[in-house]
Amino acid sequence: MPFVTPATLDKTYDVIVVGSGAAGGQSAYTLSMEGAKVLMLEAGRKYIPETETPMFRTPEQGPLRGASTPDKRFGFYDATVDGGWEVPGEPYVQTTHEAAGRFDWWRARMLGGRTNHWGRISLRNGPYDFKARTRDGLGFDWPLSYGDLAPYYDKVELLVGIYGSNDGLENTPNSAPGCLLPPPKPIVSDLLIAQRARRVGVPVIAGHRAVLTRQLDFKTSPARLHPGNPTAQKIIATDMQRRAACIWATPCGRGCSIRANYQSTTVHLPPALASGNLDIVTDAMAHEITLGKHGLASGVSFIDKTTGKQCHAAARVVVLAASSCESVRILLNSKTARFPNGVANSSGKVGRYLMDTVGSSLEGQIPLLENLPPLNEDGASESHVYAPWWLYREQLAGKLGFARGYHIEFGGGRRMPDLGTLAGIEWLTGGSYGKKFKDDARRYYGTFVSFDGRGEMIANKDSYCEIDPQVQDKFGIPVLRFHWKWSEHETRQAAHMQQTFKEIIEAMGGRVKGEVQSDGAKAIRAGGSIIHEVGGAIMGKKAATSVTNHWGQTWDVKNVFLADGAVFPSNADKNPTLTIMALAWRAADHILDLLRRKDL
């Protein structure tokens, strides 16, 4: 029954899942594999990675050598379809044009959403990250602990395929035995960074990314994923064998036609469709949850973009997984007599406590890396290693001037040359041209290392979104208006990142490119830049101060769940996708329980 149209929908479903990315994919996978009848609504078009991915394409085969343009913000070959910080016909409103008050919202209107192009860095939140307020009095605790989520992290890692190592470092949890795939070997610059960073106190360990460094364990994992369900075990065992291991070439951000990395479209949806329990409608722009008898949700209204017609689908349960802000938008646009401010918003907290990740970068040139022999350093495209946050003790003692941590992602290596590879190197060459420039290019190629800090932002009352009273998108749906403010915890952290990067570059015997920014307000990237949008409908212990309970179930309407990042009460430095998937799996298990008990 896979891809259907609004005209061929079933009369009703067990569950409607709105969105098809990490949260929607995981929700639909868990629910349909365990027997629930699921309808997925995706606002973008159908997307087929097997045939659409530009594997092995080189820059000169694309327009402008693959450069970034407003049509393709991450470059021509990026997997994103109909997306970016601006989507034609689908505006949103900023309350200021000052960089410090901006939130730029990245969307991807395609099956699989942002999982087709993401960085695939997959870090677990640690025990502290769930109880941060208890530790330092700021922000919010989660209404669940690391122990509650750990079994679901294990399951997601087993299903999706995450490489990494268990290093036993503080607040950087180990996975259960057999969960992680072996990490790829470090490249030369990784090893040099590891050696020199340690001299300035920064630990460097194997990265964790959703890339198959070998085939998944299709013999033992299925029983761990779906105990007591031989049908599901058989489906996933078959599908695991259809995913190839990494071939160590062609950037992950383009997507992967051999299914060697995680995309919802290559990992979650194929087995979910094979279960026979999942219907998908693409080009379905969901905008409202409808309520029926007893104050329960009856289904979802959407616009069929192929005809422009208003449609409705019915189900016993609605799971919003449309991305944090889009899920918030749907709740706020679902107004009824009982919920004049939007469904599930009796607390007034829908849209509140929006967060992104703190980002700051620095680049350096490393003479030790000059004149290396030719090496193929494509590897798994990025992040063979990273540095987890290391200053927990100093921070808790109040020595840093900011409350939460960051990790460091490293770039380097003899990557496929592109437009930018040898641009702006006058600071090294003194403006050479001619044969001297060609020699300089050979000398400096592959000698650059980059440092990207990714840090925790603490939820604050000034960072939120709401419905703009005037502006509508091309479908006539009211749009979001964003408010944004960093606190000093974030800006000081960004300044600290700059200082750390400088120290590492210098410990490597290198030279910093450009300026080391000591003013954190200038060092920090604008809100939304890192594309880790979370919060907006946070989970908590009380209905008065949060939108959902620890299952992602809204306090007000018990058959409406949020499965995406909207429920995050805090945004640890760990990239959110793995946690989104673990939470979605846990929520889906609870929904299955309730459905079996006829409690919904």
Partner 1 sequence: MDRRTTIKWMLAASASMPLLGRRVTAVAPSSALPQTQGYGTDPDLTKIYNPGDLWPLLLTPAQRRTAAVLCDLIIPADSVSPSASSVGVVDFLAEWVSAPYPRQQTDRPIILDGLAWIDAEGTRRFGKDFAALNDTQQHSICDDIAFEQTVQPAFAQAARFFARYRDLTAGGYYSSPAGRKDLQYIGNVALESFEGPPLELLQKLGLSPDQMQRG
List binders of partner 1 among 284-343 (CB under 8 A).
none
Nearest to 152 by CA among 169, 173, 171, 134: 173
| Closest distance of CB 597 from partner 1, Å | 43
Residue of 100, 150, 169, 428 interacting with partner 1 (CB under 8 A): 169
Q: Does 74 bind partner 1 (CB under 8 A)?
A: no
| Closest distance of CB 72 from partner 1, Å | 7
Which one, 155 or 254, has the nearer CB to partner 1?
Answer: 254
In the numeric block, the tokens 């045939």 are attached to 51
Residue of 145, 195, 231, 472 interacting with partner 1 (CB under 8 A): 195
Q: Does 194 bind partner 1 (CB under 8 A)?
A: yes
CB-CB neighbours of 384 under 10 Å = 23
In total, the chain counts a number of residues equal to 600
Which one of 280-288, 344-352, 429-437, 454-462 is the stretch in contact with partner 1 (CB under 8 A)?
A: 429-437
Question: Which of the residues 502 through 561 are near partner 1 (CB under 8 A)?
Answer: none
Residue of 27, 53, 500, 529 interacting with partner 1 (CB under 8 A): 53
Which one of 315-323, 328-336, 428-436, 450-458 is the stretch in contact with partner 1 (CB under 8 A)?
A: 428-436
Q: Does 430 bind partner 1 (CB under 8 A)?
A: yes
Question: Which of the residues 336 through 375 are near partner 1 (CB under 8 A)?
Answer: 368, 372-375
The helix, strand and coil proportions of the chain, stated in percent and rounded to the nearest 5, come to 30, 20, 50
| Closest distance of CB 385 from partner 1, Å | 7
Which one, 213 or 334, has the nearer CB to partner 1?
Answer: 213
| Closest distance of CB 360 from partner 1, Å | 23
- Is 259 within 8 Å of 266 (Cβ atoms)? yes
- Is 581 within 8 Å of 321 (Cβ atoms)? no
Residue of 50, 71, 488, 593 interacting with partner 1 (CB under 8 A): 71
Residue of 432, 487, 499, 545 interacting with partner 1 (CB under 8 A): 432
Which one, 378 or 506, has the nearer CB to partner 1?
Answer: 378
Nearest to 29 by CA among 156, 178, 210: 156
Phi, psi dihedrals of residue 394, rounded to the nearest 5°: -60, -40
Phi, psi dihedrals of residue 228, rounded to the nearest 5°: 75, 10
Sequence-distant (6+) residues with CB within 8 A of 393 are none
| Closest distance of CB 254 from partner 1, Å | 8
Q: Does 442 bind partner 1 (CB under 8 A)?
A: yes
Which one, 353 or 444, has the nearer CB to partner 1?
Answer: 444
CA angle 460, 532, 398 (to 5 degrees): 50
| Closest distance of CB 483 from partner 1, Å | 27
* Amino acid symbol at 218: F
Which one of 156-164, 241-249, 267-275, 322-330 is the stretch in contact with partner 1 (CB under 8 A)?
A: 241-249
Residue of 12, 35, 59, 298 interacting with partner 1 (CB under 8 A): 59
Nearest to 584 by CA among 22, 173, 117, 157: 22
Question: Which of the residues 82 through 141 are near partner 1 (CB under 8 A)?
Answer: 82-84, 87-88
C-alpha span between 455 and 458 (Å, rounded): 10
In the numeric block, the tokens 């960073």 are attached to 197
Which one, 370 or 394, has the nearer CB to partner 1?
Answer: 370
Which one, 204 or 318, has the nearer CB to partner 1?
Answer: 204
Q: Does 57 bind partner 1 (CB under 8 A)?
A: yes
Which one, 228 or 424, has the nearer CB to partner 1?
Answer: 424
User: What is the total count of residues that contact partner 1 (CB under 8 A)?
Assistant: 89
Q: Which residues of 429-450 are buried (b: 16+ CB within 10 A; e: fewer)?
A: beeeeeeeeeebeeebbbbbbb
- Is 23 within 8 Å of 261 (Cβ atoms)? no
Which one of 138-146, 202-210, 223-231, 518-526 is the stretch in contact with partner 1 (CB under 8 A)?
A: 202-210
Q: Does 419 bind partner 1 (CB under 8 A)?
A: yes
The helix (H) or strand (E) run that includes residue 523 is: helix 520-523
CB-CB neighbours of 381 under 10 Å = 23
Q: Distances from the Cα of 39 to the Cαs of 23, 313, 419, 547, 566, in angstroms?
A: 14, 8, 43, 24, 21
Q: What is the bridge-based pairing of β-strands 478-483 and 278-281?
A: unpaired
| Closest distance of CB 54 from partner 1, Å | 4
Q: Does 574 bind partner 1 (CB under 8 A)?
A: no
Helix (H, G, I), strand (E, B) or coil at 503: helix
Chain centroid offset of residue 399 CA: 31
